[in-house]
Chain A
């Protein structure tokens, strides 16, 4: 069992249910094979689609001939780029360059796996048979995959309207960065390469589309997860009114980690396909399609330099980065680049910085939200440089971090880039991490190991965990003048809605506008409502099916950017508090006592002085439903409350490009000990401690699960997985044999501990923690391996650190040419 110790913050109210690990409500159906994922839905007379994909990385489509495919028995419909060009509009793209991005290739194919045609047939087997009969003629063009080479003048151009393949270029400056570099005692520089890997949920994209030719309504069942800006974007692409476009999300989604935000091009494709036929059309993405053409994390080359004083204080930094977003700038990209803008200084008191951000298109799969979303890139650069500072000054890397931390008395802390860190105690959390890891003892163990010639390393990585994205942050990708234009619609905010109702017999039902993919929302919501209404979680039924026609939602709805634990729980808690007030007022009215004297205990109300005269909750609820005219004067009929919680500080970016890109900011400190096998180069994680401050903890075991899952994604990208392309743009990792996700035998045990600095901005003081160590684990692994290799004078500036790569680093250190 993993060692877990946590400290309770004094002044924390002792909750009955919040803070306890109650059994999960979702488990019974999932454990007995009665879950409802999209592919389990039984839609009558559903037919199946298959998509023909480009084998070329860059080519002009000269001819498509579907005749042989269409007269295969059982085939009933098809679309190609021509239909898409004629009947849909390009997706709106955030950046300044007017790139044309459609759900299917219309003129050229720009990455291997890009959809070229789609077929509907009686079953998936027949649809794939039909794909083999489609004849396509391509005129191949040279391909480019390296982001730095893609911007050179000789590079092939993907989009005529996008010069030098640069989809977005912004230089953001904060504070006085030149002064910082002048005052510095020394400057450190590194070129760092962050790899392209993907969260790869086990359930692939899944869509069922049904078009009503008479009413004009289009219904799309899918494992879509938000944000719901994708609803207007899809409606606009399909030239269909939003109130005619219905998204239905079933109760169960098989993991997402951000990926299923990028399903909307396929929603558009299936929508158009279902308009060609009179039956519902189901498309279940297969694993090869997913690994080739769903969504991947941006790969990045960055040049970072830091200005440092002789006692290790970081005065400022400059970063020039090249983010490789693949063939199309697909909304919400370039969010990888701009999402962490509010917390780009991490947990440190850096005041001056400049970011030269180049968002580059190449002939690779388009990128999109993945777990960590930009923060793994950020903290890989930041923490590698922190270790370089320690190395230069011969200081303990822990000490360098302690010197630079933002101090507890400075919260809420406004960062130079406009982020507002709500709460935290970084030194305390970091000390707890050192204690949990037993840092001193591990350094001693390292000393003895090194005397035996063993390659033993200790890595540290800390980071601020941003959650609840402010919908306005992405507009910092636009020049400030663009944002001043009169007909430009500024964007901001982060909200969530919850509806709670009590039925005539006094049981509680909660409706959400979240789309959970395994985070246990039904359980957490039942805990919160039970706490506020003084019931038990088993009295609370939570419905998390989502239906844009029935559920109340806003542009920022959905389950992404670890938002539910703060914005979702706040909406639920507020709705429960309001409903509690109402039932207490009805009870006081029926008991003829003042509302302050009403006591509620095991489902009965009574006046404090007259405990024997009590009425049951079902009586109060019954009154509200059966006898509404007996309610207190002016009280609204019914027992249901809908509350929307919105963050007040989620403003649009100001003229100086400052924006509070997220609304709650947690803290993480990871420590890891590793050993490298000198013969094979294989890295083994010997020990891993991880401390998190996610504000008020609601369900400890669910939080621990998020930390374990997040850490595993980070370790996967640092040691195992990578989407690899050859120089001609062919993807070489389209199976799970070649795209190497770690299994149980590769997973470490983690000693997890917490501190709780409640957020002043959320109702329960809770913050998001869904991405957690997916942001810091890659940096921690890199620092640990670098530490293990430092006696040999080897530097680590690139991931993944596969056995082959580590062996090559060892060879270069041992003077052999590899």
Chain B
């Protein structure tokens, strides 16, 4: 499942890059992430509580940052397992300078869903995925508050 999303943040590219790679704040913007521990270089064990309506799952898995080309782009790989099934996603994150000291974050992701959610939740998987991407961007906006107001 292909997923595209983009959003312009009112911060410089370097600042956005720093925030996105600041391990202490990563948990703030990964949807439903309530535990993030470093287990290797740019590699984290994560617990994500993701749910839409009554369909809730505590996803245990890994978050991996790779192919870093600071400050223009990097790849975020997320993998999580929970009772309702597993989620595996690879997202190319591109940071593009916009005028007025702003930066456009372009996300180009390929998400694979498996297990129960894939075989039973077919009617809404792509909709829910888009919903989580919107949440991700909103969370990033939220975690940039200190930078933007300063």
Contacts and interface: CB of A to CB of B under 8 A. Distances in A.
- The answer to A–B direct touch (Cβ < 8 A) is yes
B112 interface: yes
A735 interface: yes
Interface in A698-729: 726, 728
Given A55-B86, A132-B83, A288 B119 contact: yes
A733 B83 CA distance: 19
Contacts of B88: 140
Contacts of B118: 55, 112, 726, 730-732
B83 A730 contact: no
Contacts of A730: 112-114, 118-119
Q: Which of A55, A734, A738 has the most CB of B within 10 A?
A: A55
Given A55-B86, A132-B83, A732 B122 contact: yes
Given A728-B112, A730-B114, A55 B120 contact: no
B112 A738 contact: no
B122 A55 contact: no
Contacts of B83: 132
Given A55-B114, A112-B114, A728-B112, A733 B122 contact: yes
B89 to A, nearest CB: 12
Contact of B120 (A132, A726, A735): A735
Interface in B49-66: none
A489 interface: no
A55 B112 contact: no
Range class of the B interface residue count: 10 to 19
Contacts of A732: 118-119, 122
A506 B113 CA distance: 67
Interface SS, A side = loop
A773 to B, nearest CB: 30
A734 B119 contact: yes
A56 interface: yes
B39 to A, nearest CB: 16
A735 B112 contact: no
Contacts of A291: 119
B123 interface: yes
> Max chain A CB contacts within 10 Å: which of B83, B86, B88, B114?
B114
B32 interface: no
B2 to A, nearest CB: 11
B115 interface: yes
Contacts of A726: 1, 112, 118
Interface in B75-99: 83, 85-86, 88
B79 to A, nearest CB: 9
Contacts of B1: 726
A735 B83 CA distance: 18
A441 interface: no
Interface in A39-68: 55-57
A288 B85 CA distance: 14
Contacts of A132: 83
B119 A112 contact: yes
Contacts of A735: 119-120, 122
A292 B119 contact: yes
A288 B120 contact: yes
Contacts of B116: 55
A737 interface: yes
Contacts of A734: 119-120
Contacts of B114: 55-57, 112, 728, 730
B115 A55 contact: yes
Contacts of B123: 737-738
A132 B112 CA distance: 22
A144 to B, nearest CB: 15
A490 to B, nearest CB: 43
Interface in A729-750: 730-735, 737-738
Contacts of B115: 55
Nearest to A732: B122
A731 B120 CA distance: 9
Contacts of A731: 118-119
A733 B86 CA distance: 17
23 contacts: A55-B114, A55-B115, A55-B116, A112-B118, A140-B88, A288-B119, A288-B120, A291-B119, A726-B1, A726-B112, A726-B118, A728-B112, A730-B114, A730-B118, A731-B118, A731-B119, A732-B118, A732-B119, A732-B122, A735-B119, A737-B122, A737-B123, A738-B123
Interface of A: 55-57, 112, 132, 140, 288, 291-292, 726, 728, 730-735, 737-738
| In the complex, the 6 A-B pairs of residues with the closest C-beta atoms, listed nearest first | A734-B119, A55-B115, A730-B118, A55-B114, A738-B122, A732-B122
Given A57-B114, A738-B123, 19 more contacts: A55-B85, A55-B118, A56-B114, A112-B114, A112-B118, A726-B1, A728-B112, A728-B114, A730-B112, A730-B113, A730-B119, A732-B118, A732-B122, A733-B119, A733-B122, A734-B119, A734-B120, A735-B120, A737-B122
